[in-house]
Structure 1
Amino acid sequence: MREQPEQQAPPVQRLRVRYAKRGRLRFTSHRDFSRAFERAISRARVPMAYSSGFNPHPRISYAGASPTGAASEAEYLEIGLAQVREPAEVARALDESLPTGLDILEVVVSAGGSLADQLEASLWEITVAGVDEDTLRDGVGQLLAVPEVMVERMTKKGLRTFDARASIAHLEVRGPGESTATGGSCAILQVVLRHGTPSVRPDDVLAALREISGISSSSVALAQRLAQGPLDERTGTVGDPLALDRDAAG
């Protein structure tokens, strides 16, 4: 009989981490980031707790990762430690061990509950070059006036069709700006997207706008997640998922 593996002790402390994907590192996939983060944990000598079994893994729980190519100021994960550490020390050590562009913004002690359950929606800013503000504003009005817009996206399981409109909790044009992608003028969208299955992404919102209003499919768009957390359905705003953890610690 195969010898049973040693059982690992449960974590003595759980920390929640907010990090950013910036610049060229927005093209980092979730798998690339997870590898980089595990190497950073090793270099920073963070005393990780490990799972039990024949192939123990550091206790890391990822939640709500942004799609490859999107920048973000609001990515989250949770780690379990085998020893108690000051969150600020862990934040500094991890930030120094990660490449510039994958930046640790905050580390707090978990107050319990599920981090993933707190991440109900995301606030995205989408910079759209090649479309003037008035045209985009008209398209937004048309999109918000209908109950459903079906879009297509290629997934690992093939081409999938789904409703992009149902996930939009709030959508507005914030005004003109300067495009870093083309050097010309652009329009700026802000959209709050409910999380669900399938997950609706910023490019799906643009596909819905193109479908319903005929906005040019050649327009260049860059997406950045500004916030991720609990959704206030009344106001269409996204809250801070670490607020309760800070209150418990303070």
Structure 2
Amino acid sequence: MADPRLFRLRVTYSKSGRLAMLSHLEVARALERTVRRAGLPFAVTNGFSPHMRIAFGAALPVGVGGNAEFFDIFLTSYLAPKKALEALRNFSAPDLMPTACEYVEPSAAAASVACPVSTYEALLSASVGGLEIPDTVEVVRKKKRKVLEVREFLVGDVCVSGNSVVFTLQAKPTGSLRADIFLDACIDLLKINGVAPNDLCIVSINRIAQNSSD
């Protein structure tokens, strides 16, 4: 339950360069250290093992960057967003840099589910005329195989321009389709059909926007 006595600050940041190789847990730990070093008046949980009241947005796979990632930090006292941003930037690595701060209502949706629609831009190792979208993708999670219907997660069309690919995926309450797995499946289909070289691969993927489903 939201505590009306706390101030919920939403921090937008970028994950890029070498730090795109960090796992979600490693990113979370790095950002927690940044908040501590910046001296923000963060709230802590109750109980025998109190920890920082911080919540993170949807996780990115290892190797996938993000231009508009965010986390919510709950503060015990008001701090002007501009001052909070300046303090955080002073203690942040260039490849994990805060870009904006704003307050959101304590009762707003949790950061992990607030923006289920993600748009990605990927660069391939060579230009392609288009991508073929598979009907299904098989994924393995915790040693269990699962078949996902691609059209349940894909929003709109996949836009291809040379070696640039832009597409949008929506996470569902029942699960999600990772951007890298989706794109790998599209590339594999091109290779199977003989319309792409066998060495075609993904050079980079970045999440360029996150939105609600409304």
Give the CA deviation at 1:53. Answer: 0.5
Q: Is the 8 A contact 1:171 1:189 kept in 2?
A: no
Residue number in structure 2 paired with 1:220 = 201
Q: Is the 8 A contact 1:149 1:212 kept in 2?
A: no
Give the CA deviation at 1:212. Answer: 4.2
Q: Is the 8 A contact 1:124 1:224 kept in 2?
A: yes
Instruction: Find the aligned partners of 1:157 and 1:41 in 2 and give their Cα distance.
Output: 36
Residue number in structure 1 paired with 2:65 = 71
Distance 1:11 1:103, change over 3 A: farther
Residue number in structure 2 paired with 1:169 = 155
Residue number in structure 2 paired with 1:119 = 115
Q: Is the 8 A contact 1:11 1:80 kept in 2?
A: no
Partner residue of 1:102 out of 84, 96, 105: 96
Distance 1:11 1:63, change over 3 A: farther
Residue number in structure 1 paired with 2:41 = 47
Q: Is the 8 A contact 1:50 1:58 kept in 2?
A: yes
Q: Secondary structure at the match of 1:26?
A: helix
Look at both structures and tell me which one has the larger radius of gyration over its CA atoms: 1
Q: Is the 8 A contact 1:74 1:226 kept in 2?
A: yes
Equivalent runs, 1:166-245 vs 2, <5 Å: 166-176=152-162, 187-196=163-172, 197-210=174-187, 212-213=189-190, 214=192, 215=196, 218-221=199-202, 222-231=204-213
Would you say how many aligned residue pairs link Structure 1 and Structure 2? 204
Q: What TM-score do the two structures reach when normalised by structure 2?
A: 0.86
Q: What TM-score do the two structures reach when normalised by structure 1?
A: 0.74
Q: Is the 8 A contact 1:124 1:202 kept in 2?
A: yes
Give the CA deviation at 1:171. Answer: 2.9
Give the CA deviation at 1:219. Answer: 1.9
Give the CA deviation at 1:217. Answer: 5.7
Give the CA deviation at 1:93. Answer: 0.9
Instruction: Find the aligned partners of 1:216 and 1:198 in 2 and give their Cα distance.
Output: 32
The RMSD of aligned alpha carbons is 2.1
Is 1:18 the counterpart of 2:12? The answer is: yes
Identity %: 27
Instruction: Find the aligned partners of 2:183 and 2:198 in 1 and give their Cα distance.
Output: 9
Deviations 1:86-109 (A, max 9, x none): 111111111221212001011101
